[in-house]
A and B are shown apart, each in its own frame.
Chain A
Amino acid sequence: MSHPAIEVQDLRFSYPDGREALRGTDLRVEPGQRVALFGPNGAGKTTLALHLNGIYEAATGTVRIGDLVLSEPSLTEIRRRVGLVFQDPDDQLFMPTVAEDVAFGPANLGMSGAELEARVAEALAAVEASDFGDRAPHHLSGGERRRVAIATVLAMRPDVLVLDEPTSGLDPAGRRELVTTLQRLDITQLVITHDLPFALELCERAVILDAGRVVADGATAEILADPELLSRHRLEMPFGYRLT
C-alpha cells in the first residue's frame, strides 16, 4: 500500500491577531507529482507551506507526509522529508559560505566529515552550482542564489520539495535555468506561484487556494484555460496568452 506524499485534511489555522488563514484546507499529493499552488495574495499559500513541516501548528486537522503524521515526536523526520524553499533566498542562506549553508541541514541530522562533504557536493551538483561552494551568498546573482537555496534543502534528501514563489525576482534566463533544474529533480514538488506560464511548463496538476480553502483542483492546462475560474480568484494569464 502506498501513502500519498502529502496529505492535508481539514487544516484550520488563525494568526494571533484573529485573522483566519486556513479554513479547512484539504490537499493530497501523490509521490512524484509536481503540483502548482495558485491563489490571490493572502489566500493562505505560505501559511499552508509552513504547516507542512510543522513551523506552524494547526489548530485542527492533520498533516501527513508519507506514512508519518506530523506531531511532536515526528517533527525531526518530517523536517527532513519536507524541504521548504523560502521566498527570499536571503532568508534561507544565513551561513558565511555556500558550502557551509548546504551543510547546515545534514549536519543537524548528525552527519560530519567525508559523508557530509559528499552530501554537500551531491546537492550542489543537482542544481549545477558545484563551483559555488566557497562563495559568500551575497556574492551570487539572484538566479544562483535561488538554485543554492534549493540545494540547501536537497542536501537533506527530502521526499517533498515545497517552493514558495521560486521565480520571484529572477530574470528570464534565471527562470529558464530554474525550470530545467526543477524538471530534472525526481522528487514530489509543491510549487507556490503567481507565474502561471511557469507552472504550466513545470506542473501537470494545479490547485487554487482562496480564503484558506482549496477551490479548484485539476490539470494545469485545464485550469489555466478557464478565464472565468481564474478571474474569480484574482488570477489571469499574462497578456497575449490564451490556452484552449
Chain B
Amino acid sequence: MGAGHAHALYVHEHSPVHRLAPEVKVLAVFLFVVGVAITPREALWAFAFDAVALGSVIRVARLRFRFVLVRLAAVVPFILFAVLIPFIASGEQIQVLGISVSHEGLWAMWNIIAKATLGATASIVLAATTEIPEMLRGMTILKVPATLTAIAMFMVRYLVLVSNELGRMRVAMTARGYDPRWLWQAKPIAASAGALFIRSYERGERVHAAMLSRGFTGTMPAINQRRATRGEWLAGAMLPILAITLALTAWGMQ
C-alpha cells in the first residue's frame, strides 16, 4: 500500500544514464534547461537539434517514448494557457485557417510550448533514471544547503507513512457513516488534517530522539562517498554544451 509513492516517476533499468552519477545528471538537466531557455524563439532548427539530442538520451536510457509522452501531460495546463495568447495578444494580425490571430502572440505561444516541452522532457528523463535519495545526494554534492536536502529527504521518507495514516483516518470516518457531499460537511476533514499535523509533529519528536540516540549532533553525516568521475562529467556535459552552443549560435546568426 502506497509503496510506489516515492518512485512513481522512476523506471527501473540498468542503462548508462541510470548509472551516471546523480550530481552530473542534476547539473546537466539544469544547464540544458538554461540553454533551451536562452535560445531565440525564431531559431526553429536549434529546438529541433535539442529535441533530437534529448530523444537520443531517452533511447540510451532505454525509456519508452510512450512513457515520456504520458508524463508530459503535466505541461498541458501551461500549454492551454499559451494557446490563448495568439487570440488575446495585440499587434499585427494575420489569418490562420480563416481566424484572425496576433502574429506576435503566435510566436509567444510557440516559445512557451517549445521550451516547456523540452524542459519538462529533460526533467522526466532525470526523474525516470535517478532515484530520489540519489537525486538528493547529487544536490548535496552540488552544495545545495544540507538543511534543504535533509528536509526533502525526511519528507520523501515520511510522506508514505503520513498518507497511509490519512488513508486509515478516512477509512475510520467512512466506517462510521461519514460521506461528505457538501461544504458544511467538511469539518471532520479539517479536524483530521489537524490530527494528522499533531501526529506528524509527535513522530518528528520521536525520530529526533532516535537520531540523538545514535549520536546525531546536528549535521547529517556524509555516508555515500562516491563522486562522479571525469568521464561521467564529460558524458553529462554533452547535452548542456550542445543546447548552450545552439542558443549562442542562433543569437550570433540574428
- Residues of A whose CB lies within 8 Å of any CB of B are 50, 53, 55, 76, 79-80, 82-84, 86, 88, 90-92, 94-97, 100, 103-105, 107-109, 112-113, 116, 136-139, 152-153, 156
Q: How far is the CA of A83 from the CA of B214 in the complex (A)?
A: 8
A28 to chain B, nearest CB (A): 22
Whether the Cβ atoms of B214 and A138 lie closer than 8 Å is no
> By the criterion CB–CB under 8 Å, are B215 and A55 in contact?
no
Residues of B within 8 A of A113 (CB): 225
CB neighbours (8 Å) of A76 from chain B are: 215
Q: Are B206 and A86 in contact (CB under 8 A)?
A: yes
Whether B160 lies near A138 (C-beta < 8 A) is yes
Provide the bound-state CA to CA distance between A79 and B216, in Å: 10
**CB < 8 Å: which of B6, B207, B222, B225 contacts A94?**
B207
A156–B210 Cα distance when bound, in Å, is 13
B211, A79: Cβ atoms under 8 Å? Answer: no
Given contacts A96-B156, A96-B157, contact A104 B214 (CB under 8 A): yes
Residue B48 lies at the interface, judged by CB distance under 8 Å to chain A: no
User: Contacts A97-B133, A100-B223 given; 10 further ones with Cβ under 8 A?
Assistant: A50-B209, A84-B210, A86-B213, A90-B161, A91-B206, A91-B209, A94-B157, A104-B214, A112-B222, A138-B161
Q: Contact: A153 with B156, CB < 8 Å?
A: no
Which B residue sits closest to A109, measured CB to CB?
B215
Interface string of B84-118 (1 = CB under 8 A from A): 00000000000000000000000000000000000
Contacts of B2 in A (CB 8 A): 138
Q: Is chain A's interface secondary structure helix, strand, loop, or mixed overall?
A: helix
Q: Is the CB of B215 within 8 A of A84?
A: no
Distance in angstroms between the alpha carbons of A56 and B207 in the assembled complex:
15
| A152 CB contacts on chain B under 8 angstroms | 214
Q: Which residues of B contact A112 (CB under 8 A)?
A: 222, 225
Is B254 interfacial (CB-CB < 8 Å)?
no
Q: Could you pull out 29 A-B pairs where Cβ atoms are within 8 angstroms? A: A50-B209, A53-B213, A55-B212, A76-B215, A79-B214, A79-B215, A86-B209, A88-B206, A90-B161, A90-B203, A91-B210, A94-B157, A94-B210, A95-B223, A96-B136, A96-B153, A96-B157, A97-B133, A104-B214, A104-B221, A104-B223, A108-B214, A112-B222, A112-B225, A138-B6, A138-B157, A139-B3, A152-B214, A156-B215
**Does B217 have its Cβ within 8 Å of any Cβ on chain A?**
yes
Question: Nearest Cβ in chain B — how far from A48, in angstroms?
Answer: 14
- Could you tell me the distance between the alpha carbons of A5 and B211 in the complex, rounded to whole angstroms? 23
Which residue of the partner chain B has the closest CB to A56? B209
B184 proximity list for chain A (CB < 8 A): none
A153–B214 Cα distance when bound, in Å, is 7
CA distance A92 to B2 in the complex (A): 20
Is B154 positioned at the interface, with any CB of A under 8 Å from its CB?
Answer: yes
Which residues of B in the span 137-191 have a Cβ within 8 Å of any Cβ on A? 153-154, 156-158, 160-161
* B224 at interface, CB cutoff 8 A: yes
Instruction: Specify which chain A residues have a CB less than 8 angstroms from the CB of B24 in the assembled complex.
Output: none
**Given A94-B207, A112-B225: A79 touches B213 (CB 8 Å cut-off):** yes
- The minimal Cβ–Cβ distance linking B225 to chain A, given in whole angstroms, is 6
Chain B residues, Cβ within 8 Å of A100? 133, 223-224
Q: Decide: A107 near B206, CB < 8 A? Known: A95-B157, A152-B214.
A: no
Q: Which residues of A are found within 8 Å of B58, using beta-carbon distances?
A: none
- What residues of A have a CB within 8 angstroms of the CB of B161 in the complex? 90, 138
Instruction: Give complex CA distance A153, B222 in Å.
Output: 18
Q: Are B210 and A137 in contact (CB under 8 A)?
A: no
B36 in contact (CB, < 8 A)? no
Contact A84 B213 (CB under 8 A): yes
**Are B211 and A94 in contact, CB atoms less than 8 angstroms apart?**
yes
Q: A105, B223: Cβ atoms under 8 Å?
A: no
- Identify the closest chain B residue to A77 (Cβ): B215
Smallest CB-CB separation from A136: which chain B residue?
Answer: B6
Residues of chain A within 8 A of B3, CB atoms compared: 138-139
Q: CA A113 – CA B224 in complex, angstroms?
A: 8
Interchain CB contact (< 8 A) of B212 among A79, A138, A139: A79
Q: How far is the CA of A104 from the CA of B207 in the complex (A)?
A: 13
Q: Which residues of A contact B223 (CB under 8 A)?
A: 95, 100, 103-104, 107, 116
Q: What is the bound-complex CA distance between A116 and B223, given in angstroms?
A: 8
B221 A108 Cβ-Cβ under 8 A: yes
A80 proximity list for chain B (CB < 8 A): 215
Contact A105 B156, beta carbon cutoff 8 Å: no
- Within the assembled complex, what's the spacing in Å between the Cα atoms of A31 and B60? 58
